[in-house]
Amino acid sequence: MSALRILRHLLTPPWVLNRAFPSRVLAAIEAAVKGSEARHRGEIRFAVEAGLDLGDLRLGLSTRERAVEVFSRLRVWDTAENTGVLVYVQWVDRRVEIVADRGIAARVGQTEWNGICRAMEAAFRARQYEQGAVDAVAAVGALLAKHFPARHNNPNELSDRPVLLR
């Protein structure tokens, strides 16, 4: 664990997320999630976290491990068909992770999710936050539509609203 990483996490204020994710960008992400979920039985949650707290940093928590914690905290696993997906952005580390519930993980490999993550990270490096997020939601939705197409009864089990973790 580098001292520089710890300092970046501890000194980055949560409001920094408002620059990249103002209300109009959050609304665009929410609309993308809602539109995507009309085509499949999956449930997509989108979460962005500025920095980790000192306890997580001392434990050496990886972005993937934190994404799994957020998956649980947001109850993304709580769907009838185990078809929840979390798109998690760790802002300070500039990393994206996608965590899929077991129903999806049985059909979609991590390699496919990693491709979406790396594309989103590239968009964010180019400061294309809205487009990167919306494109990632669309790519996740395309995979879900392929493996879990919508049925006649397609309830919305989780909130479509993105979450800024503070």
H, E, C per residue of 88-113: EEECCCCEEEEEECHHHHCCCCHHHH
Predicted confidence band at 1 (pLDDT cuts at 50, 70, 90)?
A: low
**Is the Cα dihedral 93, 22, 30, 123 positive or negative?**
negative
Instruction: List pLDDT tens digits, range 91-111.
Output: 999 999 999 999 999 999 999
